Amino acid sequence: MNRISTQAEWIARAAEVLPAAGFGNFDPGIVISRGAGSRVWDADGNEYIDYLIGSGPMLIGHGHPEVMEAVFEQLPKGMTFFANNAKGIELAEEIARAVPCAEQVRYVSSGGEADMYAMRLARAYTGRDKILKFEGGYHGMSAEAQMSLAPTRMVNFPQAVPDSAGIPETVRAEMLIAPFNDIEFVKSLIAEHKSELAAVIVEPLQRIIPPAPGFLQALRDLCSANDILLIFDEIVTGFRFAYGGAQELYRVTPDICTLGKIIGGGFPLAAIAASREIMAHFDKSLVGADKWLMQLGTLSGNPVASAAGLKTMEILARDGQYARLRETGERIQRMASKSLKAQGIPHQITGDATLFDILFLDRPARDYRDVIQADGAWNAAFNDHLRGSGIFKSPGKLYPSLALTQADLEHTEAAFEAAASAIG
């Protein structure tokens, strides 16, 4: 077989064997060949500062030498066992120490799996079927999660809108949809459906939309008062916002949380975490066959992923890491806003210092319907110009990392100025 060397050749090859020429995750028009530290390179050798960082997992950068050492130490000992292993147990112990709601942990391989099992766990524990989620909230690819994730048709709440073909109509009946940051609407839904509701599932930061002051605590209070479980989807925010995640930063403790991305150190790994009482439903000997939640996975608790995640978390726990991450994020936010203001372009920097993006909108966004009012043409043009200047990011998020250097930030500032000037 001839050596394939150019990006165009790889894209053509992908089109033959991959639907829509891609993995379904990101722009199939770019093929990444390698990453190191804060940088990635495409198949043509073009170099980018990486603000996508694998959609979040590479918080300390690509190929961190300490993580590589931990992985290389584990590899000759075995890559997977379908059985308990020491690294997986150590990682669970550290998660339980770090995360406020976590007394026990159950592993899966992806965040979508973790969210699916979290909702199923809530149903097993409460004996109820309905789940309340927020419009625009992302909780993976299960049938429940694919309700009103990114609806193009706005309907009256709490009606759910399927985002995918292939979902049974009956799933809609078990999902209630509310606008994010509207606690009065949530209160009315709970008053009407509390006898049927198993859980409220929420991203503490919904994509890039921050919770309104008091919103998460009000959810906590409502759930506690009505014997409904509160699930925090911390696949993105866990070990990013703080070592204990968004629940540490916001000082609101859910009943169940899901974790992913960072806990695998760049390898496939995710987890469900909760109290012993709730997690007992994974143990048939404690709850009996009728209340037992069956769960298994070939790669769950994989030792290589656990070793990478454990070392990543050890690095994050060192003094000053989160302060430095936040300082870097705040600097990037200031640079972006300064560049756009200089061109008189209406915009909002929305999110947290550790995860945010630019919305081309003239007012703050409180929920999904605000976000979709942002100017998509400006967003697309701005991001296209950034990529042309060597900035690699998602169309809807920017992830700062601890691998960024002074030179990276200076390059980023110049790219922001050029992009703002081009669209201004």
Strand order in the sheet with 104-108: 104-108, 270-274, 256-259, 229-234, 197-202, 130-134, 175-178
Distance (Å) of CA 344 to CA 295, 328, 339, 350:
54, 25, 9, 18
Residue 155 CA to its chain's centroid (Å)? 26
Instruction: State the Cα–Cα distance between residues 400 and 254, nearest whole angstrom.
Output: 26
Q: Which of 48, 125, 138, 399 is catalytic?
A: 138
Please pick, among 233, 367, 370, 408, the residue that the annotation labels catalytic: 233
The yes-or-no answer on residue 233 being catalytic is: yes
d(CA 373, CA 150): 13
Token pair 């509207």: residue: 182
Is 138 labeled as catalytic in the residue annotation?
A: yes
- Strands of the sheet with 32-36, listed across from one edge: 32-36, 39-42, 47-50, 391-392
> Which residue, 384, 404, 381, 396, is CA-closest to 351?
396
In the numeric block, which tokens belong to residue 91? 């990682």
- Annotated catalytic residue 261: yes
| DSSP-based three-state secondary structure for 33 | strand
Catalytic residue among 87, 130, 133, 261: 261
Active-site residue numbers? Answer: 138, 233, 261
